[in-house]
Amino acid sequence: MAKENTRELKDKTKKSLHRLSAINDEVGKINDQLCEAAKKLSDIVADKDKILKNFKLKSDPKKSQKKQRAMIYGTPERIGFGFNHLKFYIDFTVVVSEGDDLTNIKGSIVYGTSRTLCFLECIFPKKPNDCEKCERVVRCDGLEDKPLIHFSVTQHGMIQSSGELEGEWWIEEDKSNLVELHYRALDLIWKQALDWSNENILP
């Protein structure tokens, strides 16, 4: 903001604007780190290095739909994939932890799972406009989400766990950092994801 435009502003207004400007810069830096993490995690999910082949495992990236749950401009799109026969996703957003200091603004990488609100396959595939599902499903993809674990990301690219998974990783370092985070996270949350996916079926 040019000085001539700020001359009439009160000191408290200027202070608020300086603070908002600093927050904007901080969120921008965090978004840059989240985008870099998303790029590397997308490669890991796509298994471009064939890491999983030796373990007879496979990730199944979902590329058909553009999805983004975070309302924060600049954050990466959701990464959706199938793993060990379940639907998983990775979301990215910006959060503020307790207190309102700028140092408490962090990125967040969220791992979760999805389950269908109806049947796995539409039972009216030839008549989508007549499907009763569309009148009672609150989401256009017919799924609901359950976040299971999240990691905080600093503006410098350090990733820390939320407590369930001990560790510290750096985005800019060798990709093996995020490979470790990704598969340790899936190993930790897989049973929770399975239990939740069966919640509407089992008594």
* Position with higher pLDDT, 18 vs 66: 18
Q: Which two tokens stand for residue 200?
A: 């509407």
Alpha-carbon distance of 164 to 26, in angstroms, equals 27
Residue 124 binned pLDDT confidence (cut-offs 50, 70, 90): low
pLDDT at 141 (0 to 100): 77
The mean predicted confidence, pLDDT, of the chain is 83
Q: Which two tokens stand for residue 70?
A: 């975070």
pLDDT at 140 (0 to 100): 73
pLDDT at 188 (0 to 100): 93
pTM exceeding 0.75? yes
pLDDT at 1 (0 to 100): 45
Neighbours of 110 (CB within 10 A): 20
* Position with higher pLDDT, 9 vs 71: 9
Instruction: Kindly tell me if the per-residue pLDDT of 108 is higher than 80.
Output: yes
Domain ranges within the chain, ordered by starting residue? 12-197
pLDDT at 119 (0 to 100): 73
> Could you give the angle at the alpha carbon of 189 between the alpha carbons of 184 and 193, nearest 5°?
145
